[in-house]
Structures are given as structure tokens and as C-alpha cells.
Chain A
Amino acid sequence: MLSCTEATRLMSDSRERPLLFKEKVALTFHTSMCKACRNFGRQVGVISKLSKHYVSRTDKPEDEDSK
């Protein structure tokens, strides 16, 4: 069984390259049992979407950031 370190690496890699069949199988097996890594997988996608918004966002940030 993959460790979480390996599983998160594969999830990160999957955004860079197609995973091999055996990697997909191992990853699916891991995430079927590991909620933390399932969350990680979703978050990697969310971060990518947020990055696109960051680049093109139009609203001004609030300046009262220093609390």
C-alpha cells in the first residue's frame, strides 16, 4: 500500500503527466481508504483554480489586512 507521502506525490504528478495504469490503481486503492489524501487531492485542484483567479481577479484587496 502506498504511503500518504507517495499518494500525495502521485496526485501532484497527475496534474503534470498522465499516471501509469499501475499508479492509478495504487492511488485509487489508497484514497478509497484515506480521507486525508482524498481531501488533499481535491485541494490541489482548488489551489490550481484559485491561482487562475488570482491572476485575473478584478476586485481590489482590502487594505485593512494588518490586524
Chain B
Amino acid sequence: MDTEMIDKSAQLLLDESYLAELRRQMVKFAHLQLADQGLAEDAVHEALIGALKNSSSFAGASAFKTWVFAILKNKIADVLRKNQRLPEVSESSEGEGEFDHLFNSKGFWYRNERPASWGDPLKAIEDGRFWVVFEACLEDLSPRQARVFMMREFIDLETDEICKTLDLSVSNLHVLLHRARLRLRECLEKKWFVGGAE
């Protein structure tokens, strides 16, 4: 291991504003999935402690952040597995009718709601403002939609595990993911890719 690289990583961890920002992102990430501020802060705390213990083996911010989020994902997965007192969400708030504004009675897109081309969407990755919109759109999902979407796309949990943890049937899970994707793409298109600041 290159000592110069280690120094760089150590310096980064002495940077208060870097740590504060990292912690903010982690708490947000955990909170979206655990829907509980206390649980989120505990998970982040544990992940950071674990990460800081071994921080010297990381060369630079990028590797460190990837790693610390990997630890956090494991902590979140543990909490989700153990924790059965997940907030109840009434089915009615996300039942039939949620997408009546998108599709007509025959199930075809209304003209104004048709998904448009996003051009070169991965350009957004480089724009800090995009991620603010992305987080806002995640928060716009119902808690259950957000939970399953993040378990699937952020934490990469398998279908079986998500179903077992949340006591969902596979088809319920697929319904929730479909709705989450419909809502997320609608939000991203209106707030960024077509209607937004870009």
C-alpha cells in the first residue's frame, strides 16, 4: 500500500465538513429505508464507527464512501430483517386509482402523460442539482413503495428476502415496484428531464 495514498485518506477523515456531508447523505439514505429517524441515526452511527476503525486502508474519498455505504447497507438490511414494527400504511392510499391521472379507462397513456425521450439521461449524474431532485422524488413515493424500491435497487436484496421481511407476496412486491417506477419516472421527467431545470 502506497503511504501517500493512506495519508490522503486520513486527511479526508479529519475534514469536518466532509464527514458532516457524508453523515447527512447516510442518514438520508437510511431514513428513506427505515422510515424512522432513530433507527436511521443508529445504523449510520454504527456504520461510521466500523468504517473509521479501518479507515487507514482506504485510498481516497471514493473508495471510502463506497465502502462506508456498503457497511450501511448491511446495517440497514439487518435492521429490516429484525424489525417487524415497520410503519403500517393503509392500502387505500396506494390502491387502485393512484394512476388514474396517467392512464385512461382502457389503460392507455393520456397524451400529456406519455413518457418522453430523456435524451442522454446519464449526463445528470454529473450535476449536483439532479441528485437533489432525485432525493425529492424518492421522498414523494409512498413509504411502502420507497421501501421496496430501495431494498431492490439500492441494497440489491433478492425477491424472497424482501417478501419475507415485509410479509408480502411476490405479486404484491411486483405491484409495488411497478407503482414505484411509474411514480419515480413521472417525477424525474417533470422535475428534471423534460420539465425541469436542465
Contacts and interface: CB of A to CB of B under 8 A. Distances in A.
Given A39-B118, A40-B115, A57 B125 contact: yes
A22 to B, nearest CB: 17
A48 B153 contact: yes
A12 B175 CA distance: 9
A19 B24 CA distance: 39
The secondary-structure label for the interface of chain A is helix
B117 A39 contact: yes
A62 B115 contact: no
Contact of A44 (B69, B108, B109, B181): B181
A28 interface: no
Contact of B128 (A5, A12, A48, A62): A62
B109 A51 contact: no
Contacts of A25: none
A61 interface: yes
**What interface size band does chain A fall in?**
35 or more
A47 interface: yes
Nearest to B149: A51
B177 A36 contact: no
A5 B29 contact: no
Contact of A12 (B99, B108, B118, B178): B178
A50 B124 contact: yes
Contact of A50 (B25, B125, B128): B125
A43 B62 CA distance: 27
Interface of A: 3-6, 8-9, 12-13, 15-17, 35-37, 39-40, 42-44, 46-62, 65
Given A12-B177, A59-B128, A65-B132, 7 more contacts: A39-B118, A40-B115, A44-B185, A54-B134, A57-B65, A58-B66, A61-B128
22 contacts: A12-B181, A12-B182, A16-B159, A16-B177, A37-B115, A39-B115, A40-B185, A43-B118, A43-B121, A44-B185, A47-B153, A50-B121, A50-B134, A52-B153, A56-B66, A57-B125, A61-B128, A61-B132, A62-B128, A62-B129, A62-B132, A65-B129
